[in-house]
Amino acid sequence: LEGEKIFISGGDSDLAENVIHLVLARTPGSPKGTKGLSLFMVPKFLFDAEGQLGERNGAKVVGIEEKMGIHGSATCTLALGSDRPCRGWMVGAEHQGIEIMFMMMNEARIGVGAQGVGVAAASYQFALAYSHQRLQGSSPDQLRNPDAPRMPIVIHPDVRRMLMTQKVLAETMRSLLYRLGHRHDLMENFPERAEVDNMVIDLLVPVLKAHCTDMGFEASVLGIQVLGGYGYIGEYPVEQLARDAKIASIYEGTNGIQALDLLGRKMRIKGGAYFMQWMQEAGQLLAAGKEAGFAAEAGALEKSVQQLAASAMHLGGLGAQGKMEAALLQAYPFLQQFGTVQLGLEALDQAIVAQRVIADRGATPHLQSKRLNLAFYVANLLPRATSLGKGLTQGDTSCLDPLLFAAP
């Protein structure tokens, strides 16, 4: 193989005696586009049938990218065949490369979604700890008393709002992550339900990848805000978390590409069958929520599910009329709307489960907080979905006007 690959995570290391790259490349005379790609196994060291390592292969790192964050992960420029021949072994059949790569795509995207969840949870933990240590301001009922004792910032309503946003995002995203992991396990172990599980996983993977990485970044930025000045400097780890979090919305397919996958592919497969299945399951959860005594929250969520369906119908209509640009313009807001509704459903599910566990084993603050999570989410975060739905059905295409964005 000959050529160069940029942005290769962990492109080389001495942690293992050999490094095997999976490389997409084109055989001579192959068609253009992704359909012409084949997949190759390219080892750093060649080896024989017994696995005995031999001479160095011509795949080598020629540079390391300087990045905004994730400094623990070396991002490399890899040269193939630059100073000696680089040998690769084809995996699967010729031109089957993209198809095979897609087999690991879902898992990789779920993994990147997990990075968003992890960063949100870590930032919340640091912010929570700091909010108990930092003394600033007095309690709200002592505002006019200059001699009032300085209080830990955790008592201030605005700090509590930020902590709660972080907590609710981290916990609802974790719930979505585990939901997909659980459905994956069920799919693999119970063939009779595999088709249905696969539909839901396929539909929700771009939502998890994009929405949880965006919300992970939002939560990490809130962590900086909770710490004030100390949030912005390197003595505390929250600024690093924000820098580390940003890449997750970019690699493994940018979030914009995830939105295209959701709207352009997943929503259209089998005439919208995946979304219909999702709607049906959402309906079951909402009914369970009403039965469990969360009628007001379930009612608000039900409305947001209906609004999401209306957005889907609207965008499907644009596609049917051939207004592709107008539909693509709204792909991302649609994914955000979907993610916002989905996390609300996670909050409801967690509240139902917590209520059951409390009845069985007694209350703990952690379990009781799930009811508060739900109330907070529905009142403060769910309205974002309504606003997104309103925006995307307005039909505004001003940013598509050719008048705009001439080359500077």
Ligand X SMILES: Cc1cc2nc3c(=O)[nH]c(=O)nc-3n(C[C@H](O)[C@H](O)[C@H](O)COP(=O)(O)OP(=O)(O)OC[C@H]3O[C@@H](n4cnc5c(N)ncnc54)[C@H](O)[C@@H]3O)c2cc1C
Q: Which residue is nearest to ligand X (CB)?
A: 256
Q: Which is nearer to ligand X, 97 or 231 (CB)?
A: 97
Taking CB under 6 A as the criterion, the residue among 222, 247, 263, 392 binding ligand X is 247
> How many angstroms separate the CA atoms of 207 and 258, rounded?
7
Q: Establish if 75 lies at the interface with ligand X (CB under 6 A).
A: yes
Provide the minimum distance between the beta carbon of 285 and ligand X in the complex, in angstroms, as a whole number.
Answer: 32
DSSP 83: S
Q: Which is nearer to ligand X, 1 or 378 (CB)?
A: 1
Taking CB under 6 A as the criterion, the residue among 151, 250, 358, 375 binding ligand X is 250
Q: Establish if 67 lies at the interface with ligand X (CB under 6 A).
A: yes
> How many angstroms separate the CA atoms of 208 and 216, rounded?
11
DSSP 149: P
Q: Establish if 154 lies at the interface with ligand X (CB under 6 A).
A: no
List the catalytic residue out of 171, 218, 239, 252: 252
Taking CB under 6 A as the criterion, the residue among 22, 128, 257, 288 binding ligand X is 257
List Cα–Cα distances, 73 to 3, 76, 220, 254, 386, in angstroms.
Answer: 23, 9, 19, 19, 39
> How many angstroms separate the CA atoms of 258 and 252, rounded?
9
Q: Which of residues 278-297 bind ligand X (CB under 6 A)?
A: none
Structure tokens given for 68: 């905004």
Taking CB under 6 A as the criterion, the residue among 111, 256, 272, 316 binding ligand X is 256
Provide the minimum distance between the beta carbon of 93 and ligand X in the complex, in angstroms, as a whole number.
Answer: 21
Q: Strand 37-43: give its sheet, edge to edge.
A: 20-26, 37-43, 89-91
Stretch that binds ligand X, among 80-88, 245-253, 296-304, 349-357 (CB under 6 A): 245-253
Provide the minimum distance between the beta carbon of 27 and ligand X in the complex, in angstroms, as a whole number.
Answer: 19
Instruction: State which amino acid sits at residue 74.
Output: A
252 a catalytic residue: yes
> How many angstroms separate the CA atoms of 123 and 227, rounded?
10
Q: Establish if 77 lies at the interface with ligand X (CB under 6 A).
A: no
Beta-bridge partner residues of 131: none
Taking CB under 6 A as the criterion, the residue among 152, 253, 316, 391 binding ligand X is 253
Q: Which is nearer to ligand X, 109 or 371 (CB)?
A: 109
Q: Which is nearer to ligand X, 73 or 136 (CB)?
A: 73
Q: What are phi and psi of 254, to 5 degrees?
A: -55, 160
Stretch that binds ligand X, among 1-9, 225-233, 263-271, 338-346 (CB under 6 A): 1-9
- H/E stretch holding 295: helix 295-320
> How many angstroms separate the CA atoms of 177 and 110, rounded?
7
Q: What are phi and psi of 238, to 5 degrees?
A: -70, -30
Q: Are 90 and 39 in contact (CB under 8 A)?
A: yes
Q: Which of residues 2-61 bind ligand X (CB under 6 A)?
A: 7-9
Q: Establish if 81 lies at the interface with ligand X (CB under 6 A).
A: no
The SS3 assignment for 54 reads strand
> How many angstroms separate the CA atoms of 12 and 5, rounded?
13
The catalytic residues are: 252
Q: Which residues bind ligand X (CB under 6 A)?
A: 7-9, 67, 75, 247, 250-254, 256-257, 260
